[in-house]
Amino acid sequence: MRRVYMDNAATTRITEPVLQAMLPYLTEIYGNPSSVHSFGREARKALEAARLQVANAINADSREIYFTAGGTESDNWALRGTAYALREQGNHIITSSIEHHAVLHTCQQLEREGFRVTYLPVSEDGFISPDDLEKAICPETILISVMTANNEIGTIQPVREIGAIAKAHGIRFHTDAVQAVGAIPINVKEMNVDLLSLSGHKFHAPKGVGALYVRSGIRLQRLIQGGAQERTQRAGTENLASIIAMGKAIELATADLAAKFASVAALRDRLMDGILRSIPECRINGSREQRLPGNCNISFKYLEGESLLLSLDIKGIAVSSGSACTSGSVDPSHVLLAIGLPLEVARGSLRFSLNEENTIEEIDYVLQTLSVVVQRLRNMSPSAPDELKSDEAFSL
Ligand SMILES: *Cc1c(COP(=O)(O)O)cnc(C)c1O
């Protein structure tokens, strides 16, 4: 059976050059980077080379890069590390209502610990308003955390403007750039950002490795105690092979970005326009202009995203519904509710996330399959109006 992977915002595959780069560090070059002998020194040298690759990709200095176990840890560290380090200075944090759970759940935990959090609302396209941000700032504000690009609807925030506001008020600014790295240009200096999270497995490195950019001079509390790794700020023997892979992967992912952006966006537009043309009563979620090249998030009225996802899975097509399955019940995505979708429309949404490995043939296969599957499900949907139902016999 044909298999089509369109869930690249969830994770990506390790590509051949990335695998080749990491393999020696699983077999021959296995020293501990903290060891003083030649085995250790060899590992240390490779570790620092990877740090430079990551730094170069975002216009940082390599001393500003700290390796972590992924985007979630980087987000936790940026938020909690700041909150605990600046506790004497204030207890107020500003974020957006559409952040990844790695940020939102961390904020909720900080609220339980006595911090106050403002969750900025977003427009129907998913943008926070710089005006709202200005108004939320108070003397106790110690941190602003707004993601660079949203993982569900692909909206790219005006990060540079947000950073400028933070800077003007002398407030620390963190951005979760996990979806943005490798998709759009990231330049920590132009973005006025103090802390930036990234994660390897979103751009063809292995799962379980990431980094936090910490602008020099920024003080964070450590979250993980132990040895003196990562200049004493993040203990634990380094995940060397994965870090090497991430270095290689970020170099490849950020080379030729403009060309990659254009070709992935063209695939995405073919999919989006094709869906709008062939399927009635659906809507695109997120901004059409300021959008990640690979993101296509669509609501199909009168349908359950979950049933649609499962029907597509039977046809070999992998997508995401954006909803969180918590203890057996399906909660609609907090992002789709925040952009103002009614509950039942939010429930009928799917995210297709593409990258440079997807093809026109795959898009056309998905379009063909999708229109048949949607029609079949709508024929059975009690909420769908009669004029949307069709007697035509479909076979796939
Ligand atoms: C995937 C993702 C994360 C979590 O990263 P992990 O490396 O999987 O822990 C955080 N934020 C965003 C926006 C993401 O897409």
Residue that terminates a domain, selected from 204, 226, 253:
253
Tell me the per-residue pLDDT of 36-93, one tens digit each, with 9 for 90 and over.
Answer: 999 999 999 999 999 999 999 999 999 999 999 999 999 999 999 999 999 999 999 9
* Per-residue pLDDT, 329: 66
Measured from the Cα of 202, ligand 1's closest atom is: 1
Return phi, psi of residue 212, to 5°: -120, 125
In this prediction, residues 188-195 reach a mean pLDDT of 97
Taking 60 as the threshold, does the pLDDT of residue 396 lie above it? no
DSSP conformational letter for 219: -
Residue of 202, 320, 333 to test ligand 1 pocket, by largest number of atoms within 8 Å of CB: 202
* Per-residue pLDDT, 290: 98
pLDDT category, 325, cuts 50, 70, 90? low
Q: What CATH number has the domain bearing residue 36?
A: 3.40.640.10
Q: Are residues 191 and 278 in the same domain?
A: no
* Per-residue pLDDT, 236: 98
Question: To which H or E segment does residue 209 belong?
Answer: none
Return phi, psi of residue 355, to 5°: -145, -170
**Cβ-contact 338, 99 below 8 angstroms:** no
Taking 70 as the threshold, does the pLDDT of residue 186 lie above it? yes
* Per-residue pLDDT, 324: 65
Q: Mean pLDDT lowest for which of 176-185, 280-289, 316-325, 361-370?
A: 316-325
Distance 232 CA to ligand 1 centre (A): 25
Percent with pLDDT over 90 in the chain: 95
Q: Are residues 178 and 36 in the same domain?
A: yes
Tell me the per-residue pLDDT of 133-172, one tens digit each, with 9 for 90 and over.
Answer: 999 999 999 999 999 999 999 999 999 999 999 999 999 9
Q: Are residues 49 and 194 in the same domain?
A: yes
User: Which two three-digit tokens encode residue 336?
Assistant: 């789709």
The protein residue with its alpha carbon nearest to ligand 1, atom 14, reads 178
Residue of 151, 201, 243, 351 to test ligand 1 pocket, by largest number of atoms within 8 Å of CB: 151
**Cβ-contact 28, 39 below 8 angstroms:** no
Measured from the Cα of 99, ligand 1's closest atom is: 13
Residue that terminates a domain, selected from 253, 280, 299:
253
Verify whether residue 296 is a known catalytic residue: no
CA 335, 338, 343, 349 torsion-angle sign: negative
Distance CA 154, CA 161 (A): 18
b/e sequence 137-153, b meaning 16+ C-beta within 10 Å: beeebbbbbbbbbbbbb
Question: To which H or E segment does residue 164 belong?
Answer: helix 159-168
Q: Are residues 232 and 293 in the same domain?
A: no
Q: Are residues 203 and 100 in the same domain?
A: yes
Number of domains the chain contains: 2
Distance CA 290, CA 122 (A): 14
Distance 188 CA to ligand 1 centre (A): 19
Distance CA 338, CA 315 (A): 31
> How many residues does this entry show for the chain?
396
Pocket of ligand 1 (CB under 6 A): 70-72, 75, 100, 102, 147, 151, 176, 178-179, 199, 201-202, 210
Distance 72 CA to ligand 1 centre (A): 6
Burial of 223 (0-12, 13-18, 19+ CB in 10 A): middle
In this prediction, residues 282-306 reach a mean pLDDT of 97
Q: Are residues 162 and 249 in the same domain?
A: yes
95: helix, coil or strand? strand
Taking 70 as the threshold, does the pLDDT of residue 23 lie above it? yes
* Per-residue pLDDT, 264: 98
In this prediction, residues 127-131 reach a mean pLDDT of 98
What is the domain range of residue 180? 16-253
Q: Are residues 155 and 203 in the same domain?
A: yes
Taking 90 as the threshold, does the pLDDT of residue 197 lie above it? yes
Question: To which H or E segment does residue 394 belong?
Answer: none
Q: Are residues 179 and 273 in the same domain?
A: no
Distance 71 CA to ligand 1 centre (A): 5
Q: What CATH number has the domain bearing residue 340?
A: 3.90.1150.10
Q: Are residues 188 and 56 in the same domain?
A: yes
Distance 199 CA to ligand 1 centre (A): 7
Residue that terminates a domain, selected from 253, 278, 303:
253
Give the chain's largest Cα–Cα span. Answer: 76
User: Which two three-digit tokens encode residue 127?
Assistant: 């943008």
Q: Are residues 193 and 286 in the same domain?
A: no
Distance CA 194, CA 294 (A): 27
Tell me the per-residue pLDDT of 7-17, one tens digit each, with 9 for 90 and over.
Answer: 999 999 999 99
Tell me the per-residue pLDDT of 99-124, one tens digit each, with 9 for 90 and over.
Answer: 999 999 999 999 999 999 999 999 99
**Cβ-contact 151, 100 below 8 angstroms:** yes
DSSP conformational letter for 328: T
Residue of 68, 72, 101, 243 to test ligand 1 pocket, by largest number of atoms within 8 Å of CB: 72
What is the pTM for the complete model shown? 0.97
Q: Are residues 272 and 387 in the same domain?
A: yes
The protein residue with its alpha carbon nearest to ligand 1, atom 6, reads 71
Q: Are residues 112 and 199 in the same domain?
A: yes
